[in-house]
Structure 1
Amino acid sequence: MAISSIQSLTTTWRKCLPAALLLGAFAVVSQPLQAVALDQIAVVVNSDVILASEVQQRMQMLRASKAGKGLAGADLTRAAVDELVTERLQAQYAKENGITVDDATVDRAMESIARQNRMDLRSFQAALQKEGISMTALREQTRRKITADLLRKQLGGGKITVSDREIDDLIASQSQKITAGERYRLQHILITAPNGATIEQVNAARNKAEDLRKRVANGEDFSSVAKQFSDNNAANNGGDLGWQAADALPSSFVRALSLMQVGDISAVVRDQNGFHVLKLLEREGGKRAIAAESRVRHILISTQKYPPAEAKQKIDAIYQQLQTGADFGQLAKANSDDPGSAARGGDLGWAKAGQMVAPFEQAMNAQALNTVSQPFQTQFGWHILEVLERKQADQSADQLREKATSYLGGRKEEEQYKAWLQGLRNGAYIDYRMQGAAPHLQLK
């Protein structure tokens, strides 16, 4: 692969490097460094020093990367020093806490980068040399970034939580984009509480709307409730608003609809007209994620509870009983080692792709409806399953919530990590000796 410039190479790397390596991990570039007769100390970081030549090299790296775009003069110097100080502090903490990255891990990372550039390691090294980039320096930069990623994961340690309210708020804030091009067939109940209503009137309207929502959510006919209680013109039609385009609906409706699936009833929605309850009857248009789901039940004989040979004998005996007409649900209640599903006759409910472990999902997908599988094994033990139903389901809302959870979790983890880094800096001895190297009291 011909690489015409340092910029093209760094762009390629940024596409290929793992997340841990995407913080400007580019080593010595081809521009000659300013000659330094006697290398000077730029910064002292606890017991380590950062040399002026290192700062100059990092400035060159930043110029060659997107991270350094638009930086010059003192800003570029401070950015380079900031990266180097952060790396030193992370490396010191990692060493003190026994966190190391061995050569084999770095080797795998370098091989991965080379492969994604469609080269073997030898060709990749030759391409680097043509650009004046040191393979040794890139390896050490890669090692530092992997170390930083290990620190980030260790410090996160499963402590990050994201609430349903946070997820709902994020989705609602993006509802106009999420619902672009969609149309809905809706039913609607309105309890008026217009602007100017007294506090008592507003509270009475809210309580009435909440009570009506509970009634329809518990199974009472929406049309009948709307005809009897709704204050809008559609009441006579059972609250049916017909088909409505997302961009023609009030923003409060769109925020609620972005979180709903067909058949759902919204929470009570407030706007300038009062309190609304929506039911989504049909949806079309937009980008939907449609995927197969299976309703399945199973019997598990645990290999944690029984020795392997005994577990296999038990599942085979149960299979023989099923072949002679025994009731699946009763056998599951009496024998299954999955207590949650056993109480329901083995019913696991609706399962979507990726929800079950691979051997179970493969057996589930291959099994004909309403037939009993032969015994098969997973890491939990021996199973027999039966697929009761299959359907094509709209998983857009679930996928949206998963993406929102991942985004919010990542953002919280980043904020937590930055706060930890700032604490690390606050407790460190840092002596900035190079002119213009000291930061403006901010953590990058």
Structure 2
Amino acid sequence: MAINSTQSLMTTWRKCLPAALLMGALVVVSHPLQAEALDQIAVVVNSEVVLYSEVQQRMQMLRASKANKNLAGADLTRAAVDELVTERLQAQYAKENGISVDDAMVDRAMESIARQNRMDMRTFQAALQKAGISMTALREQTRRKITADLLRKQIGGSKVAVSDREVNDLIASQSQKITAGERYRLQHILVTAPNGATIEQVNAARNKAEDLRKRVANGEDFSNVAKQFSDNNAANNGGDLGWQAADALPSSFVRALSLMQVNDISPVVRDQNGFHVLKLLEREGGKRALAAESRVRHILVSTQKYPPAEAKQKIDAIYQQLQTGAEFAQLAKANSDDPGSAARGGDLGWAKAGQMVAAFEQAMNTQALHTVSQPFQTQFGWHVLEVLERKQADQSADQIREKATSYLGGRKEEEQYKAWLQSLRNGAYIDYRMQGAAPNLQLK
């Protein structure tokens, strides 16, 4: 199956061969070798060969890369050979499984490399020729790099799973950085279980703390619960700890606060003094990610349920009723084809940027508060909407979780892909004929 070019793959290839690296390859001419040495076989990979000349060109490019500045001698040779062997194995696997990269995709990648070096293709080709680098060889190397990226996505892309526990653990490990410069106004409940308490005492304290947390999370007044049941000195003040800097709080508190928003109740936090429950009343300082949110209600007339002309007539009639004072919630319950929101009088709750389809979001963002929009169409049908509230919401916690999930997923994909490459090597015939080419260790 031929794979068409995509911007993401072009970006990946540019990472594989950054402009600075290629420029180094253009200006550093490889050491002269005897003609017979260039034609010798460095490695046999199944039924294909890697030549000395290929190894020398790859070593030249590695020397120009800052990431490999400490490589020299046998280590540089092994690194070059390792890359070439891996590319051959990947290309062989791709061919066997019907994965190919078309010439147009390679053309676009080569043009991108030339642009990064601030050259047009004619100048780029002349520079390669002057440096003794074959355009044909570079095109094939580019093709193999793109193929490797396609394989990486195919092998690891859809199989990794990241658990909430893994995300929470990563965030906890970085909580000091996440909360740097922040201050909090907190309420606090403590159920003591100091070091030296018996297992029975610890379990009883934990159960009590969980019960108290459940009560305040379900709406019971935090101050009253703290006054009645908390063991800390601030209990008489309803557990109010006042303003506290993040770097002055116990690390167990900071880990919980890193993902909390104002008015959130923390999970039960354990430390050497016992079990704690926190409520975040206010936050200031640090770097927070604020974004606009709108609370919206709407009425939908589906164009799948009604013919287009009839759907438009129906939404116009509903709009006219709203203009003459009809109650929005009642009309939504009686007429909306969005069953989830219709039961709530059309209420969709709070909507974040990017959560709604484009036409709906545009209407939502431009409509004045407490006014009804004119009918507008999306792929679902015809709508009217009313914006009930707008606010700047703290989305830091969501963004932190998204970044942590993406990081962990990428790391798992990389580990999985490396394991797959190692299995590919283990099943291959590889004959190292060039001195110093054989790896000392397994594939890194």
TM-score in terms of structure 2 length: 0.88
Quote the residue 1:83 is aligned against.
83
Point out where structure 2 has 5 or more consecutive residues left out of the alignment. Answer: none
User: The residue matched to 2:387 in structure 1 has which SS?
Assistant: strand
Quote the residue 2:57 is aligned against.
57
Work out whether residues 13 and 145 of structure 2, in 8 Å CA contact, stay in contact via their aligned partners in 1.
no
Q: State the Cα distance separating 1:317 from its structure 2 match.
A: 3.9
Work out whether residues 195 and 272 of structure 1, in 8 Å CA contact, stay in contact via their aligned partners in 2.
yes
Work out whether residues 332 and 346 of structure 2, in 8 Å CA contact, stay in contact via their aligned partners in 1.
yes
Counterparts of 2:70 and 2:420, CA distance in 1: 28
Counterparts of 2:366 and 2:145, CA distance in 1: 44
Q: State the Cα distance separating 1:430 from its structure 2 match.
A: 1.9
Q: Percent identity among equivalent residues?
A: 91
Range that drifts further, 13-22 or 79-88: 13-22
Number of equivalenced pairs: 444
User: The residue matched to 2:260 in structure 1 has which SS?
Assistant: coil
Counterparts of 1:125 and 1:245, CA distance in 2: 59
Q: State the Cα distance separating 1:368 from its structure 2 match.
A: 1.0
Q: State the Cα distance separating 1:201 from its structure 2 match.
A: 0.5
Q: Once superposed, what is the RMSD of the aligned Cα atoms?
A: 5.4
Range that drifts further, 127-136 or 99-108: 127-136
User: The residue matched to 1:119 in structure 2 has which SS?
Assistant: coil
Counterparts of 1:10 and 1:318, CA distance in 2: 50
Q: State the Cα distance separating 1:60 from its structure 2 match.
A: 1.4
Counterparts in 2 of 1:267 and 1:304: CA distance versus 1, 3 Å: same
Q: State the Cα distance separating 1:396 from its structure 2 match.
A: 1.1
Range that drifts further, 61-70 or 175-184: 61-70
Q: State the Cα distance separating 1:3 from its structure 2 match.
A: 34
Q: State the Cα distance separating 1:250 from its structure 2 match.
A: 0.6
Counterparts of 1:20 and 1:330, CA distance in 2: 65
Work out whether residues 28 and 57 of structure 1, in 8 Å CA contact, stay in contact via their aligned partners in 2.
no
User: The residue matched to 1:83 in structure 2 has which SS?
Assistant: helix
Work out whether residues 19 and 116 of structure 2, in 8 Å CA contact, stay in contact via their aligned partners in 1.
no
Counterparts in 2 of 1:6 and 1:175: CA distance versus 1, 3 Å: closer
Q: State the Cα distance separating 1:432 from its structure 2 match.
A: 2.1
Quote the residue 1:185 is aligned against.
185
Q: Deviations over 1:95-119 (max 9, x none)?
A: 1222211122222233334445555
User: The residue matched to 1:191 in structure 2 has which SS?
Assistant: strand
Counterparts in 2 of 1:2 and 1:180: CA distance versus 1, 3 Å: farther
Counterparts of 1:443 and 1:124, CA distance in 2: 34
Counterparts in 2 of 1:33 and 1:10: CA distance versus 1, 3 Å: farther
Counterparts of 1:299 and 1:4, CA distance in 2: 41
Asked whether 1:323 is paired with 2:323, we answer yes
Q: State the Cα distance separating 1:262 from its structure 2 match.
A: 0.8
User: The residue matched to 1:22 in structure 2 has which SS?
Assistant: helix
Range that drifts further, 410-419 or 429-438: 429-438
Q: State the Cα distance separating 1:160 from its structure 2 match.
A: 2.1
Q: Deviations over 1:269-290 (max 9, x none)?
A: 0000000001111111111112
Work out whether residues 162 and 409 of structure 1, in 8 Å CA contact, stay in contact via their aligned partners in 2.
yes
Q: State the Cα distance separating 1:44 from its structure 2 match.
A: 1.8
Work out whether residues 168 and 259 of structure 1, in 8 Å CA contact, stay in contact via their aligned partners in 2.
no
Counterparts of 1:95 and 1:23, CA distance in 2: 31
Quote the residue 2:406 is aligned against.
406
Work out whether residues 170 and 404 of structure 1, in 8 Å CA contact, stay in contact via their aligned partners in 2.
yes
TM-score in terms of structure 1 length: 0.88
Q: State the Cα distance separating 1:25 from its structure 2 match.
A: 10
Counterparts of 1:419 and 1:183, CA distance in 2: 44
Counterparts in 2 of 1:146 and 1:12: CA distance versus 1, 3 Å: closer
Q: Deviations over 1:285-335 (max 9, x none)?
A: 111112211112223344455554554444444334433433333333344
Q: Deviations over 1:62-113 (max 9, x none)?
A: 1111342211222212211111111111111111222211122222233334
Counterparts in 2 of 1:93 and 1:206: CA distance versus 1, 3 Å: same
Range that drifts further, 192-201 or 3-12: 3-12
Counterparts in 2 of 1:232 and 1:12: CA distance versus 1, 3 Å: closer
Q: State the Cα distance separating 1:361 from its structure 2 match.
A: 1.8
Point out where structure 1 has 5 or more consecutive residues left out of the alignment. Answer: none
Counterparts of 2:62 and 2:82, CA distance in 1: 12
Quote the residue 2:281 is aligned against.
281
